[in-house]
Structure 1
């Protein structure tokens, strides 16, 4: 969500930054605007996941249930990983 309250969609790849001792000290995120066709697949799935999370008073339980829903949706679509699923609906130009 933008500062002004508008929604916007990006695909983000987040990578941790480590110090010399191997401890996470921050994160780096690369973002890109998804194609409109990809949003047609992602938006309904996202809304279902959010509904599932909100259905539970315990936020940890809600997150666990939505994570299972996501993995089930990926498997049902015929993919062995979320990354393969996402790369399929977001072809590179």
Structure 2
């Protein structure tokens, strides 16, 4: 839900050690949300269950990040990323997201399990810079090609550090994770 005036939105922060946990079905519809998620996002359980997880998607998030996320998850791998989300009242919060495919005993995809924690300030600042450039790329690229173009730019930019996106994100959060907040 977009805020009435994004220029006046306020950042909401998770406390150290606090975890947001959600589960979705294979299409991304929320099937479970913990109390921390409800408190931070401002949504009640009945407002979340059955809704697409992107109900909290902030427009500052480039589509290319989600393209990378879905490619990673569809390959059966877990995804780590720094994500900016909306609250119901138009404020925002940053998370270090870890999303994992959830399979049944027969190996059939049941959905996705996501654990999100407070990212380091360094990770938020780096993501803000990278995501601004990704949004600029998406704005000047044809709509169907925009997510792939910005994701390719991000991959190349992060490769300059000698890391892939996951390693880069985790390295930016090493301090926060080292204080008992494990990924």
Shared fold per TM-score greater than 0.5? yes
Query: How many residues in Structure 1 have an aligned counterpart in Structure 2?
Result: 91
The aligned residue for residue 88 of structure 1 is: 171
The 5 A counterparts of 1:3-18 are 3-18=88-103
What TM-score comes out, normalization by structure 1 length?
Answer: 0.83
The 5 A counterparts of 1:33-48 are 33-48=118-133
Gaps in structure 2 of 5+ consecutive residues: 1-85
Gaps in structure 1 of 5+ consecutive residues: none
In the TM superposition, structure 1's runs of 4+ consecutive aligned residues that sit over 4 Å from their partners are none
Of structures 1 and 2, the one with the larger relative CO (CA 8 A, separation 6+) is: 2
Structure 2 residue matching 1:38: 3-state secondary structure: helix
Structure that is richer in helix per residue: 1
CA RMSD between the two structures: 1.6
Structure 2 residue matching 1:26: 3-state secondary structure: strand
Quote the Cα distance in structure 1 between the aligned partners of 2:105 and 2:122: 42
1:28 to partner: Cα distance: 0.5
